[in-house]
Chains A and B, each alone.
Chain A
Amino acid sequence: MVFSRLYFCLRGLLGPDSVKTAKTLQSRAFSLLVWVRPIAFIGVLLAIWQIAVSRHPVHLLPGPLEVVGGIADLARRGLLLKYVIASLFRVTWGFALAVVLAIPLGLTIGWFRRAEMAFNPIVQILRPISPLAWIPIAILWFGVGDLAAIFLIFMGCFLPLLLTAINAVQSVPAVYINAGRNFGLGPLDLVYRVLYPAVIPQLIVGLRITLGIAWLVVVAAEMIAVSSGLGFLIVDARNAGNRYDLVVAGMVLIGLIGLLLDMGIRSLERVKSFRWSYSED
């Protein structure tokens, strides 16, 4: 609104030639604003946080500056990279295992109506059980350590991926399958040349959401069951000396890496031959 007022002022003052320049200036300023505003908002939040903390010096909660100091501290001690890699390692394994098992199984179950009938009740009962509730069993089977964490991540990802795959198959319009059969495709060709391309866009969205879940689970799992990783950092920093600057540093890192993972998969969604489903609106 401010800009349109400015624009009319300029126009009045400088004559009609200036209209074009003012317009391009306005649109360029606007697109800059699009970038600046959210960053400014975050900046404002950080400022409020810092002021609130410096007003209450007795408070345990660190301010943003201390958090940055904490991250630097971790980097210096070589722990930053070590913990990040540990968390990513577990996520990768748990997630990959879940993908490899759940997707083919889900595609098969979704294809056969009776299979879906058969497995649905079990899936519905297991779904509301938090992956963390599996911790005692995980520790019983795998002991405390990486495998238990990977198992928890697997448990957190398996059912959502299964449901995604089932849903994806059931959403494939029957026309595509019928057309495939019409052209004489055998069952294997049908799966490879029609079913698989048709489900990919939906699968990728499901993968993105499930990766987000995996990232949530790994952090929680590390707070309980292992001794490295970003989740462990949070618990350890607090227990061994109330280093809340490291606690919040850990949280910030978790947030940033989670966001990067999400953005990574979103870029996969943009690959052209997968994109077809999104441009059909």
Chain B
Amino acid sequence: MTIDQPRRWERFFWPVLVCALLLALWHYCVIWTATRIFPSPLDVERGLAELLRQNVLWADIGDSLRRVAIGFGAAVLLGVPLGLMFGWYPAANQVVNPAMQIIRPISPIAWIPVAIIFFGVGDNAAIFLIFLGAFFPIVVSCTDGVSNVPSISRRAGRNFGLSPFHVLAKVVFPAALPQIIVGLRIALGIAWLVVVAAEMIAVDSGLGYLIIDSRNSGKRYDLVVAAMLLIGVIGLALDLAFRRLEKVKSVRWGFRDES
């Protein structure tokens, strides 16, 4: 008795079936409970069309993406070198790590009052929060990436006469790159979560703000759900784009074992 291989067409059939069933379930729940506030799938679709027609939506999406870009970029610029250094000098990591472990569990959102003191209300505070959210995962994955490079590779580098800096740059860094890129992808996902949350509290533009505003000014839950879906889709697109990066040939060697 063996489980037979699914056919090609099944890759589309099952997800479509499940999605259709869930949408139908949603639709009938709305009808059955006769709610006047919660939107049905059709309401959401209409709300989405309405948003797309207004220019404001594109500005909101642009704002969210911009904040993520700057905050994430800053986290990469600071976090990658720091993480590499911690991986290269385990002693340094050992000294700083406990401090990081205490700061790390503090949700970026909890930093809002402090962020507002330093950056005032607005974009910069949000960007700071995104930076915080992305920073620690990046540092950790870079540190782990470097530590996991087998010492054989380092020795081979030295054997061929490379200076320590060149060993780091030409042997260790490429060897650690797959793991670093996975860490970056995860951090980007976190950044996307944080920007939405930050926009719900601390700024007045962006997709997160759209959600809060749609509810507050008119209980437009159809727009709320439409915005949520947009957030999901854009976040997924960012993730897929990053995975594309992982497939670039010179990085791929690390993933060869994944089928």
Enumerate chain A interface residues (CB-CB to B < 8 A): 34, 37-39, 41-42, 45, 59-61, 113-115, 117-122, 124-137, 140, 212, 215-217, 219-220, 223-224, 231, 234-235, 238, 244, 247-248, 250-252, 254-259, 261-262
Contact = CB atoms under 8 A, between A and B. Distances in A.
A129 B228 CA distance: 7
A64 B196 CA distance: 31
Contacts of A258: 104-106
Interface of B: 3, 6, 10-11, 14-15, 17-19, 22, 37-38, 94-99, 101-114, 117, 189, 192-194, 196-197, 200-201, 208, 211-212, 214-215, 221, 224-225, 227-229, 231-236, 238-239
A132 B196 contact: yes
Contacts of A261: 105
A37 B95 contact: yes
A117 B15 contact: yes
A255 B40 CA distance: 41
A122 B25 CA distance: 14
Contact of B231 (A42, A45, A129, A234): A129
A219 B196 CA distance: 16
Contacts, number: 173
Chief secondary structure at chain A's binding surface: helix
Closest 7 CB pairs of A and B: A128-B235, A258-B105, A118-B14, A220-B109, A216-B107, A130-B193, A136-B215
9 contacts: A117-B11, A128-B189, A128-B193, A131-B193, A136-B211, A234-B113, A251-B110, A251-B114, A259-B101
Given A220-B107, A244-B113, A114 B14 contact: yes
Nearest to A40: B95
Given A41-B99, A215-B105, A256-B102, A247 B113 contact: yes
A254 B106 contact: yes
A34 B117 contact: no
Contact of B18 (A122, A140, A252): A122
Contacts of A217: 107
Contacts of B117: 59-61, 244
A124 to B, nearest CB: 5
Contacts of B3: 113
Contacts of A135: 200, 211-212
A244 B231 CA distance: 33
Nearest to A253: B106
Chief secondary structure at chain B's binding surface: helix
Contact of A128 (B10, B94, B113, B192): B192
A261 B19 CA distance: 37
Contacts of A140: 37-38, 221
B102 A117 contact: no
Residue in A216, A219, A235, A252 whose Cβ sees the most chain B Cβ within 10 Å: A216
A7 B112 CA distance: 51
B200 A125 contact: no
A238 B95 contact: no
B99 A45 contact: yes
Residue in A38, A39, A133, A235 whose Cβ sees the most chain B Cβ within 10 Å: A133
Contacts of A137: 38, 221, 224-225
A259 to B, nearest CB: 5
A269 B38 CA distance: 43
A121 B19 CA distance: 9
B69 to A, nearest CB: 16
A234 B10 contact: no
A189 to B, nearest CB: 15
A129 B225 CA distance: 11
B113 A254 contact: no
A38 B95 contact: yes
B98 A39 contact: yes
Contacts of A120: 15
